[in-house]
Structure 1
Amino acid sequence: MKNKSITLISGSRDTGDSLSEQLQLYLNKEQTFSLIVLDEFCPESVESDLIIFSSRSLEEEAREKINRLKAGRFISGRRTISHKGIDSLVTIPAGTDILFINDDRESAEESIEALKKIGFNQFNYKPCYPPLLETEGIKTAITAGETHLVPPEVSKAYDLGSRVFDYPTLAAILSCLEISPDEIEAPSFRYLKKIVSTSAKVSAYSQKINKLNSQLIMLLEGSGEGILTYDTSGTVLMANENFRSSLTPGLESPVGYRLSEIFDSKELLSFLLKSRKEEGGRFYAGGKHFSVRKTLHENSSTYICSIVFSRGDMEETVHRERVAFDHLIGKSESFSRMKKQAEKLSLSNFNILIEGEKGTGRKLLARAISNSSHRKQQVCQTVRLEALDREQMESEIEALVSDRDEGTVILSEADLLPLDLQKKLLFFLIHTPEKKRIISTVSGDFYKKVESGAFLPELYYKLKESYLYIPPLRDREDDIPLILKAELKKTGVKLKVDRELISYLKSCCWSGNINELINTVRTMSALAETDVLTLACLPEGMIPDQRKYDRELPKASRSVLMAIEQLNKKGIVTGRAKLTILTDKMGERLTEAQIRRILKELTAEDFVRKEKGRYGLFISEKGRQALGTGDSSSKRQFSDFP
């Protein structure tokens, strides 16, 4: 190994320390190694035999900030998960739902793929990153050094440590440093030792299986589903309490009985005794609607059957919530035109795609169409894909294609359907076009998913045999007083509404649309101290946070801009670390990766100016005007707040 100078440039201290530790395994004492953390110090120039950037995005930032970079070779690194905490993952049961938490989407998804490639593909991963730190009830998490981002509702978090350089990057570095195979022998043995340690943990974990098996019956009895096992002749081998109490309440135990002695539905019996390995369906028996999924265990010639009894949306199917077009409130031109089109389309058999922002009443419109259609006496099932995990989605689609009822399916957030399930649904619609009517709801630009390859164009056009678009509430402000009046009528409290309040509500953006307006109205009516609702009745924390003319600058961007202005006034050089601290004090929980992205946007739109070297960022006149602090800016955007 020739003696060379190596300089590593990173954005944060944690990343720099982790990568330095990795590189030091291969360097000798004669090598000159230095670390530059841009958030702490930005030199005027850097000269070295080899300059390594922690990532491609960091290289772009470094070249903007540092006036002079000179090296014999530049390497922009790619990073992957560290093996430090890998052995702790073997104790997690297969099939566990797991959040992978990182500071941005790309890093989270790359880390999940890395875990799958090395064999940890037995879990159901969900990428989790700011600002989308929603757990969806998942209690287990894995993170790569970002433990501060783990939500408090997560009960168990596994930290793998900060991400390190991947092998292609490491190989490029070693090649540049002319390191011989003999010199990497010791680091290789360390890695082998880690593999042995992981194997030992797997062995210890397998010894717990017998104990877990003894608890299996307890788990089956505590399941929310009905569990039934039977052999190929149709003789019941086992049934848990949920099954017994729901479908065989007159029997002490159905074990030993034939299925034909328990069920009188020929359709259900035919389904249960088919020899297919795995399939699902929806049936009615014993006065109950339920979904069935069965699997044939070939080694023991035993069927394992899970039964989910209808509740929630399926209760809506049975009791037929009578939503009519009269329940859709609005007289604005765009809404009235859409409503008239919906009434005509309800009498057809076309599949309908309903597009609109969340909170505009898409599912309400879908139910009104179903209740006015020729199929109104048939079953109407709502499948809320946004509330289902991957396995539940598959179960619902299997049940849908197996169900023989010629009713209506409301497919909520249809664009969330995975590609393999899209193919199943498409096959069903092509071969049984008249069997079911699908009313799909989506938010955002659905066709972008088709263009990106995330959604099958054939299925897109099958679902979009006809189309309706619900305009957002901000584009139908004349409907706001009507919705306000209707909601106040539901409360049963007689209240008048001040004109100034109505004018203010009309000027708001309503990012949550009708749902946000209804929540605001209900809270105001509950807290009203007189018989008149005024601006003063708007409760703190529920005042709509955006005005129509203030939508160009998002809240997070505004906080970053305010932080830059504060640092400029104090003569302090700006940096992501300082901006993270200041925005956190303003109530914005932003990671350094998010701030980096926001800074690029603010710079591109000329809200801030970027200077090379140690001078940092400066707020522009346009930026000051956006904050209301510029020479020519108007203060009117907050003057009419209560």
Structure 2
Amino acid sequence: MLMKEITLIAGTEETRKTLLEQLRSYIGEYIRIKSYAIDEGIEEIIKSDLIILSSDLVYPEALPYLHEDSKQRVMTARRTINYHYIDKLLFIPPGSEVLFVNDVAETVFDSIGKLKELGINHLKFIPYYPGIKSVKPVKIAVTPGEGDKAPEFVEEIIDIGPRLIDMTSMTEILKRLDMLEGKAHELSQKYLAKIIQLGQRLVEATQETNRFNKNLKTVLEGVNDGLLSVDTYGEIKVANGNLEKIFQTAMPFTMGKNIRQIIKNKELLHFLLNDPDGANMILSIDNVEILVKKFYIKEENLIVATFKNIKEALEIERQLRRELIKRGHIGKYTFEDIVGSSESIKNKKRIAAKLASSELNILIEGESGTGKELFASAIHNCSVRRGGPFLGVNFSALPEDLVESELFGYEEGAFTGARKGGKKGLFEQANGGTLFLDEIGDISPKIQARLLRVLQEKEIMRVGGTEIIPVDVRVIAATNKNLMEMIETGKFRQDLYHRLKVLYVQLPPLRERKEDIRELVNYFIQQNEPRSMRIEEEVIQRLMHYNWYGNVRELKNTLEYMLAVCEGDVIRIHDIPEKSFFQVKLTAESFQGYKETNELEELGNSSELYFILRQLYTAGSQNILLGRKQLAELAKAEGYTLTEPQIRQRMNLLEEHGYLIKSKGRAGTRLTRKGKQMVEQERLNG
């Protein structure tokens, strides 16, 4: 017996595919099915036992391609909502306004009616089709495969797929083919199986929603603050148990009630329902101070407020602080702990305090002993992260093979001797706070690469681990090396340098702020000696004469030495250590990159060059400007035969090699740091 044949003609290719799949699943075992889409074009005359149209709109365009015998065997399928995707609609919040988008008004209104018949009545559907004159702008649109027709203001499109052929049309197809009596039971069984499958999906969706709501309730009840969410009319949408504890009211904050029935404080009601978004207020309930914060969720038209017991919040912060102190994970210094009244150090403190308000990484450069860790700690304690941990690591004191595990942690069994259960690295321990990376110039290329990735991705992976761990850490790096020179020689990554140096502070050496020495000396005496001590003025003057290449740390060590050897309660000149005690030059590795090779000797006329540098140094310390004429006169007085053109030539040479900077006008000529160091070094060596 020959199989009967039907032909499906749909308007679009997507509708054709969907309906063809449906027909095959129900009757494809015993009926041959052909299909066409108008928008793809029809290139042959169609002759079948039955022609099925996806809608009446298809008929005029399909008619020219129908065989005369088939024109009498045409039916238009009744269509219904595609139940395969109906669960998508259940996740849209109740009461939401959504557009229903389709190609013509008839199918739009028909589909909305079908959805309501199916019980999808928790949404407010707004009809939309091409040519409609006006429509309310909403963010969500639902469509049966016609998403391209949605207006531009729609932000989210939920496609529930093309409408399916309903069961009455399926039955009619079998009836017209004289197959209903033999296949009706099989058709109903398949339809029932589809309905059961849909029911299972809806049950799963409901269970998932219930699980989510249960978890959400657990979270809300676990929050220490009172939480309240209301609409703009004051109707309660969410409230947790802590809110009721704070208000201690006989009437519970039940969902659906209006807060005016529960809260009688007019000031609070006005604050919640009328004050601008982001406002705060302090409320007193039974002599308990409560901080109330609110914000507005425009999309949901909801007001959310948190109620925090100020006393409890402060106690929690104190407990956290005590725990951080106990672990040593706390910034010990503030800007008030940085001693000095010179304009130089005050300016650096002002800059650092401004940088503290940012969340960006900071690079601190300065010679050894200038107070880089003090500044890092002070920046942390002046930032929004001051309640979080502050941890530091000095790379110069850490063996290379331990750096990776210290920074990133390790998993159990990562290496011989690894702690059972693994260990958190410094990045994990500093989460929510600040990590101070001292002597950053000492890390290897391998660690540089890993550190760069952490700074880029904000996540780490422990040594021997596979899990990606997100971290929220601000990095403050410090160095006494010239990182730019290290980049040029390939010892430091340029991309890492720029990741670290988003913000920047360069600390001045002590020899450039000698006016702070007196204040520092008095501070160190008070810190180290409980008894009343004084220091002779001659000692202060001698200390101010030194250049302190070890900076504040060297000065502190010197004071501790003098306090240990002095007799009585006075520090005298003979208590100053011998010359060998002092650092007399910068190390080759220092930030300034001082070179022991005497560059001036290589330039020639070194004594004359020294003379010019000395005179400019002395004049600069007294705020005196020197021109070529004055220098020529001073040279003659000291026995040098130098004309003004010769002085100009030598000053040009010194400028080329970075010893001085010539400026026009009142700024005059001044020494660079390199020039000052050369003079100071010559004096110490002399």
Shared fold, TM over 0.5: no
If you compute each CA radius of gyration, which structure gives the higher value, 1 or 2? 2
Query: Relative contact order: is structure 1 or structure 2 higher (C-alpha 8 Å, sep ≥ 6)?
Result: 1
TM-score (norm 2): 0.35
TM-score (norm 1): 0.37
